[in-house]
Structure 1
Amino acid sequence: MIIAGYSSGGWLAHDLAAHLERTGVPVTALLLLDSYLPEEEMEQTETRSEFMREQIRRRDLMGMALNRPDRTVTTSGQIAAMGGYSRIFSGWRPGPLKAPILHLLASEVVAGLPTSSEDHPFPAELAHRVRRLPGDHFTILSQHADLISANLHDWLTEVHPI
């Protein structure tokens, strides 16, 4: 079983992998896509505000470009989910896994978002491999999915040769 998590979904993916390993379910690999550690409480307010402003700006631009007014407003559900993840995982730190971990990071910074390798990194000793890919936190999945796929394929072939 391969488990993947994007952004704060990496926290959930890592915890799921740890839980499965504890219960005897083998995990083949964990893929983290531009995931970073939760911020300390003191840092959250300003960073989250800046990030939300950027999210709203991007959503508004996309909605206007697609002529879809329904896509120009960040929903209260999205804001509540982001706040919920931050509260649930406040102070959380990942532990070691038996499964190898591939951490693919965006090379470009988004306003209001910590840079994975500098501000709030997953501990380097936990990852089998860390790679930087072109794009930012948002475009890494949309514009660079082919690179994610190629990196994952090459890495899986290396750590689990047939």
Structure 2
Amino acid sequence: MPGPDTDHADTAPVPTPRPSASRDDEVPRTRTDRPITHLTAHTAEQPSPYDLPHGPLVTLFREAGTTGKVNEVLRLLAAAADLRDPPAGASPTPRRTFFADGPVGPALVCFPSLIAPAHAYQYARFATAFRERRGLLVLAPSGYTCGEPLPATLREFIDCQVTALRDSYLGDRPPVLVGHSSGGWVAHAIAEALAQQGTPPTGVVLLDTFLPDSPELSALQTGLFATLAETAGIAELTTESALSAMGRHHTLFRNWRPGATVGPTLLVRATDALNTITPNAAVPELSWPTRHEAINVPGNHLTMMSTFGPTTGRSVESWLSGQGPEQQS
């Protein structure tokens, strides 16, 4: 997810998402079913009020960062999701975007943070590390754009993600699942589902992922909400639909905890604190309850994927091609 730049940014060119001749859902689209070529909330001639970057939910989102009442706001956003009319007969199929391709396996399947707008483009700079080397697919959750259905249960959400993953040709080897922030919950939950079906992933990469409802996550979210609400390019995508979807997905994962180890797992930790609210704040302690390796990368929770995204990607690539799952397969 884009974050503020610093004076020492990686300067690798950002890859353009690759459309597929055989699929029409690998390029981001609006609910009018027309491809979009730039970051915008909605391109319909008469956009729904739920897809505009203003309204009571957006106001609550922005105030959460200054008041610190993140959990209370999340509960209100979840209640708003309950009022949305589900599209008849539609399933919450994730949106697919390919950012990289290459001859080396395994491919990466990446899951965005569940914080609005949960957009595939948070992996754009990270993906530069894998261009022309290995495939990189992003599965963005349904419901963050007006007209898209929301999952009713965690099981429905995971099943739809697994189906989309299996429907995407990713080579002969099981992929590595990657999740940033709360996207790490998604990656680990899907890894468990695949393992239960007898097809575990090659590995799991958790990018600065904290456990749901942990004190460390609560401390992080206050600064995160404040930053994202004012970040150019993100504020425009943070619509009423996206915020209610965020409330629903956080509710689904509220009581989730990782189960058994699902194969080689890498925990990637940001080395800098998100100092939006408290200057000189300490970096929240990051741990994971299942067996894993851990590395540190430059940047904070946001800039590790934006400013330092290519560096984070190269660190993951080093693990994959060195002592990680490629050496254990």
The alignment's TM-score, normalised by the length of structure 1, stands at 0.74
Deviations 1:97-133, CA, capped at 9 Å, x for gaps: 2411111121122247xx8852x6322x421x11121
Greater fraction of residues in helix: 1
Gaps of 5+ in 1: 64-69
1:151 alignment counterpart: 315
Is the Cα–Cα contact under 8 Å of residues 32 and 102 in structure 1 kept in the other structure?
Answer: yes
Is 1:126 the counterpart of 2:126? The answer is no
Is the Cα–Cα contact under 8 Å of residues 212 and 254 in structure 2 kept in the other structure?
Answer: yes
Deviations 1:44-66, CA, capped at 9 Å, x for gaps: 6x875553233212x2xx25xxx
Q: How many residue pairs are counted as aligned between the two chains? A: 146
1:79 alignment counterpart: 243
1:32-47 correspondence to structure 2 within 5 Å = 32-39=206-213
Pair 1:80–1:122, CA change in 2 (3 A): farther
Residue from 50, 56, 59 that aligns with 2:229 = 56
Gaps of 5+ in 2: 1-174
User: Percent identity, aligned pairs only?
Assistant: 28
Cα RMSD after superposing both structures: 2.9
Is the Cα–Cα contact under 8 Å of residues 228 and 235 in structure 2 kept in the other structure?
Answer: no
4+ residue runs over 3 A deviation:
46-51, 70-73
In structure 2, how many angstroms separate the alpha carbons of the residues matched to 1:100 and 1:116? Answer: 25
Larger radius of gyration between Structure 1 and Structure 2: 2
Once the 2 structures are TM-superposed, how far is the Cα of residue 86 of structure 1 from its aligned partner? 1.9
Deviations 1:71-93, CA, capped at 9 Å, x for gaps: 55731233223222221111221
2:141 alignment counterpart: none
Once the 2 structures are TM-superposed, how far is the Cα of residue 23 of structure 1 from its aligned partner? 0.4
1:21-32 correspondence to structure 2 within 5 Å = 21-32=195-206
Is the Cα–Cα contact under 8 Å of residues 3 and 17 in structure 1 kept in the other structure?
Answer: yes
Is 1:96 the counterpart of 2:260? The answer is yes
In structure 1, how many angstroms separate the alpha carbons of the residues matched to 2:261 and 2:246? Answer: 26
The alignment's TM-score, normalised by the length of structure 2, stands at 0.39
